Amino acid sequence: MAHKDWRTLIETLMTICREEKAFEPMALKVIGTLNDFFDLAATRLSVKSDQGEWYHVMQPEQHDFSCCDALLDEATPATLVRRIGPSQDVACFLTAQLGAFTFVAPQASKTLFESPELFLLVEAMDYLWSQLRKPFVSAAESEARLRSELEETQADFSWFFNQADDLFLIVDEDARIVRANSAWHQKTGAPAEQFFREGFVATVVDADKDKAQAAMDDLEKYGKMIELTIQHHIKNGDILHLRWRVKISHGLYFATAHDITDLYKQHEALEVAHARYDRIAKQSRIFAWEITLEGLYTYVSPIAKDVLGYEPKELVGKRYFYDLHPEETRAAFIKYAEDDIVNGRRFSDFINPMVHKDGHCVFVSTTAFPVLDKQGRMIAYQGSDMDVTEQVLAEQALKSKSEQFELAIEGSNDGIWDWDIKTDKLFLSKQWKNQLGYDAGDYPEPTMRDIFNCIHLEDRASANKQLIAYFKGEKDNFDAEMRMICKDGEIRWFRVRGAALRNETGRAIRMAGSQTDITAQKEADLTLKAQHETLRTLASTDPLTRLKNHRALYEELATLTRDNPGGVHVLAMLDLDNFKHVNDTYGHVYGDKVLTEVAKILKNHTAAHHVVGRYGGEEFMIVFIDTAIEAALEAVEAIRLDVETAYLNQDVPLTISAGVKPYRGEPISEWVDMADRNLYVAKRAGKNTIRT
């Protein structure tokens, strides 16, 4: 029997039962109850009997119950039967417990239990039972890891779903309950026997009685499956809302009911949760399978359609498991798999690729185990594949992004830092250390204090002030320029920028940022500033005498009268006497030398805050700021004497005349004109004199 399929086993079992005369009193009544298995495999119960006596299990996706009209046409490894008789005759029966299944037969005959076919079927089904649980646990664990952000929602919804077990009923033609599962007691608070006595319709609320009776009448009349929602009374007086699916066969109503009471109480909240669950459930897809030792599929559960795009009938008996492996690595995969099969290895969580029907790649986590006969010989392999495509792709993407981030950090010219404020733990990139001349092994466990110790002493207070202001929300961002001391003592300029992650109260709990070396920029700025200052000086300085030029003198006068209009200021206009004759006699080179020497005499007799300039030609201007007229006249007289003395023995004597005017608040042009007129008066008076 090792090479016979499930259909052959079941048909053989049926033949044994029919030939066994001792089974006639119990009319070969067979029904699959096993509620735990139904809940786990998400199946529903249907009925099949060529004499109205045999029953078998179908998958829920096959809502078309037409297969009940053929003898066990859809029998699979999920098919399970057990035999029971009238309760009053139980004492006359022999029971056998194999795994999770109980088989009952009259004591007069043990043929059924001695049948190797039956033991082979039960043993295989017992393996299937135990293994079907394992991938679903693995699926929940994998889904929790893959959906960490939905853990709480998933847990809440899973709890609700696990508690909301469906109800199963068989009702006779008189609307009396003849069979109910344990969920009745859990949902209604009363044992199923109460409903056996009172009948099905008796539990329905008055408003729904007609609808329930009409639905049962229509079902009997047309024979098609119906779906309807009915309200039922329960023991504590509450109303239970049940969504029913009902099918009639051979005078019996077979029905499943789903409790939707909470939908009526929490409709909006449950809609959101249900939508979330649907999204999660579609990602936690697992299909079961069985293969021969050669690798040919002998069973594939319907969920394979969702995972791989293939209907089970497209795979069973037609495809080998390795046919779905990518072609480029198929040979190596076959060798690996054959070695496992030959050695009968069990394995779990084996991640491998499969090719979807439409051609794209799907990643599955495979769990598998060998199936042995009574002699311990391996006859098949069973297992399950869980779709982990999204998880694998996410891990690949995360790895890729992590590698990209590491490459970005390594390739960046900026130093990267990340500060856990609560623990004061600090991450410093390799480039950050390189910027300051440190080796990768330096600062193995740095803190923010280590960073502040690297900041130039003169810049620490400013950096700390800006950081505190940012933490308080007084600044939109942290962006500061500071000098830092390198490992070898060199001082370099850096621009440090960062942003903080804040908790619900707005407090900064983590901060990360970058550090850019701006030393070259700073040096360039200083050079540019010096050049700018040089250009500004050149633009305002007479190139010969190095005194302020005409334009700069008026700028100084404008600033003075604007900023200090009430001050005591004196303006002196000075002009060299007979300078044209000096130029004509000695030449312009000598004349330029004279102008330079006179400029030095003017600077020697004025204070640093006074303004001295060449007004034009051989004419000079002195602005005595915050100086009384007497002091100004004394300085001008000293200048006149020095000039006269310096050129007293020349063939062409050189003297200087001056016009002086104290400031009285008049406009600049008027102030200058009045001083210039006084100079003109001094010239008319014989030169080498001063007028005020």
DSSP-derived secondary structure letter, 455: B
Rounded CA-CA distance 579/600 in Å is 17
Beta strands in 606-654 (DSSP E): 611-616, 619-624
Q: pLDDT of 532-567, one tens digit each?
A: 776 776 677 888 899 999 999 999 999 999 998 889
Q: 96-102 contacts: CB < 8 A, separation 24 or more?
A: 98/122, 98/123, 98/126, 99/123, 99/125, 99/126, 99/129, 99/130, 100/34, 100/36, 100/37, 100/126, 100/129, 101/34, 101/125, 101/126
Strand ranges, E, within 172-249 = 177-180, 226-233, 239-249
Q: What pLDDT is recorded for position 284?
A: 61
**Stretches in the chain below the pLDDT threshold 50:** 1-7, 9-10, 13, 17, 20-122, 124, 127-129, 131-137, 154, 157-164, 277-278, 280-281
pTM of the complete model beyond 0.75: no
What pLDDT is stored for residue 82 in this prediction? 34
What pLDDT sits at residue 491? 92
- Of the chain, the end-to-end C-alpha distance in Å amounts to 139
pLDDT at 493: 94
Q: Cα–Cα–Cα angle for 682, 683, 687, nearest 5°?
A: 90
Under a CB-based contact definition with an 8 Å cutoff, are residues 10 and 75 in contact?
A: yes
Q: Report all structural domains of the chain as residue ranges with CATH numbers, in order of start.
A: 6-133 (no CATH), 157-279 (3.30.450.20), 286-394 (3.30.450.20), 413-522 (3.30.450.20), 541-691 (3.30.70.270)
Q: How far is it, in rounded angstroms, from Cα 519 to Cα 503?
A: 36
For 40, other C-beta atoms within 10 Å of its C-beta total 13
pLDDT tens by residue, 236-260: 778 888 888 878 776 777 777 788 8
- pLDDT for 342 equals 74
> Which residues have C-beta within 8 Å of that of residue 64, sequence separation ≥ 6?
none
H/E segment holding residue 131: helix 116-146
Q: Identify the pLDDT of residue 656.
A: 94
pLDDT of 561 reads: 92
pLDDT given for residue 175 in this prediction: 63
